């Protein structure tokens, strides 16, 4: 599929460049600025009926351009949905059984009480005893 997409992209670029060149070669209807930059050159080179041929060629190129755009959009959409990592992850989660987590109990507090922040200042490691109060600390002058 990638080979087909690359081939169509190359053709798409070629048609786009040809369309730009053919449109720039056309003689404007109002003979304004295009005549100042050599709008009559194509008539001198290709003959008097050049405008009719260029208009038909432009319409064919435009049709091919839109057909290639449509084909490329279908191929890109098919390639992206065929095998993507996102699709595989979605398929994994659909196949995996959904285990419900065990309900956890949250201690209820009264509406007016706010929890005190825990600074960890009074926490002792497990297996240790709190130090005895010294007599100098308890006697205040």
Q: Is the pTM of this model over 0.75?
A: no
Q: Where are the alpha helices (DSSP H) in 37-49?
A: 41-46
Segment (H or E) for 71: helix 50-82
Cα 20 to Cα 7, 44, 58, 67, 111, distances in angstroms: 20, 21, 9, 17, 73
At 61, the pLDDT band (50, 70, 90 cuts) reads very high
Parse the chain into domains and list their residue ranges. 2-95
**Please, what is the end-to-end C-alpha distance for the chain in angstroms?**
92
Alpha-carbon distance of 83 to 79, in angstroms, equals 7
Cα separation, 131 vs 137, whole angstroms: 12
- Give the model confidence (pLDDT) of 26-59 as tens digits: 876 655 445 555 555 655 666 656 677 888 899 9
Alpha-carbon distance of 62 to 70, in angstroms, equals: 12
Express each pLDDT in 69-115 by its tens digit: 999 999 988 887 666 677 777 778 777 665 556 566 666 666 665 55
Instruction: Report the pLDDT value the prediction gives residue 55, as an integer from 0 to 100.
Output: 86
């Amino acid at each position: 599929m990638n080979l087909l997409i690359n081939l169509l992209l190359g053709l798409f670029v070629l048609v786009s460049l040809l369309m730009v060149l053919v449109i720039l070669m056309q003689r404007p209807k109002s003979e304004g600025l295009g005549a100042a930059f050599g709008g009559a050159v194509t008539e001198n080179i290709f003959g008097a009926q050049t405008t009719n041929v260029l208009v038909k060629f432009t319409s064919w190129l435009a049709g091919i351009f839109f057909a290639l755009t449509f084909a490329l959009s279908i191929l890109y959409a098919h390639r992206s949905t065929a095998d993507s990592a996102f699709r595989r992850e979605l398929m994994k989660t659909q196949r995996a059984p959904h285990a419900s987590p065990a309900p956890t109990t949250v201690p209820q507090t009264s509406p007016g009480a706010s929890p005190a922040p825990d600074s960890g200042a009074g926490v002792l490691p497990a297996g240790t005893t709190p130090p005895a109060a010294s007599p100098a600390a308890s006697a205040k002058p």
